[in-house]
Amino acid sequence: MIPGFQDLATGAFQSGLAQLDADPEWHDDRLNLEGPFRLSFPGAKGWGEELLVASLLKRHADASRAAVQVVASEQVCSILKHDPAFLPQLGKSNKEGRSPLAILRHALMGKLLDERFVPLASPGAKASYGIERRPRVGIAWASVPEDHPISEKSVPVEKFLPVLTGIDADLISLQRQLPVADRNGLAKERGVRFLIGDEILDAKTGSDAEKLVAEVRELDYLVTISTTTTHIAAAMGIRVELIVAEREGQQWFWQAQARHGKCFYPTVRVHLGDGRKHDWWKRSLQSLRAALPSKKHELDGR
């Protein structure tokens, strides 16, 4: 973990940004927001951070009324090609384009977050508009990279599901590696619907990413841990109740939003858990239980 992220998580933004700038992969001595920008974080495995950076740049593009050149992964290019605010090109090297450092500077130390949040455009249209239906709430509770959940990024399914009991909605699973995340099939017993398989949730291609985006767009709400799907929903203005541990440097942007007033995603409510404890999720679930809507009109926002 780059030391700069630890400072960003604690709100020491100037120090954190300076440490990032000292890293050759992050260094950027230009203060403007003229691209092309490389959206990916050096060393990041997923592409959720790319959507975070794209969402920040969308505010700038909307305010300046100028399209921004960006270099992104295949998955993110498949999304941004539908948004007139961007001129995306597929990145083939980590050295293409400027690093996201200037964007983070403007967000954490400047006025970028004062600009109006504008959801990213996305492929397809929401087919259910104007049709009466039960609300759809997406859920995910565990980060499972291989054969076991990551404890500091997962809530035991038997603790997570009871919190959802009062929700008047169809629960849609966005959970990867379900046989590992829910070995006893508790979600199926609860009536959770399984419409999306791991092939789409993994979204290793641009085509799969577009399919995942289309599924997320059909949701009214999301109750989840931090995943790429969270960034998709948040960047598109979908409401999210997010469960996340308060950890040193890890997922610093959620701590910056929850603890230090840096509102990257206005539709996300962060429920921070005590990252120093094994059962860190207890505090998160208490907060989540109090925040969840229980009636259809509350889910619909009416």
pLDDT in tens, 227-242: 999 999 999 999 999 9
* 104 Cβ contact partners less than 8 Å away, ≥ 6 residues apart: 17, 20, 56
Res 132: pLDDT: 72
Give dist(CA 252, CA 184) in Å, integer.
33
Q: What is the mean pLDDT of residues 17-33?
A: 94
pLDDT at position 96, please? Answer: 85
Which sequence spans correspond to the domains of the chain?
3-114, 136-300
State the DSSP code for 120. Answer: P
pLDDT at res. 302: 39
Q: Report the alpha-carbon distance of residue 272 to residue 201 in Å, rounded.
A: 25
Contact present, 76 and 47 (Cβ < 8 Å): yes
Cβ–Cβ < 8 Å for 70, 37: yes
Q: What is the pLDDT of residue 77?
A: 96
Nearest to 272 by CA among 296, 244, 252: 244
- Angstrom CA distances, 23 to 5, 51, 91, 283, stand at 12, 22, 20, 35
Would you state the structure tokens that stand for residue 12, as one six-digit string?
A: 């020491």
**pLDDT of 297:** 46
Q: Which helix (H) or strand (E) holds 48?
A: helix 48-64
Residue 211 has pLDDT above 70, yes or no: yes
129 vs 160: which has the higher pLDDT: 160
The count of other CB atoms within 10 Å of the CB of residue 260 is 16
* 246: exposed, middle or buried (Cβ count in 10 Å: 0-12, 13-18, 19+): buried
Q: What is the rounded distance in angstroms from the CA atom of residue 26 to the CA atom of residue 3?
A: 13
pLDDT band (50, 70, 90) for residue 122: confident
Average pLDDT taken over every residue of the chain? 91
pTM recorded for the entire structure:
0.92
Question: 136-300 maps to which CATH number?
Answer: 3.40.50.2000
Q: Can you read off the two tokens belonging to residue 51?
A: 């959507």
For 36-60, the pLDDT digits (tens) are 999 999 878 889 999 999 999 999 9
Query: What is residue 133's predicted lDDT score, i.e. its pLDDT?
Result: 79
Neighbours of 195 (CB within 10 A): 13
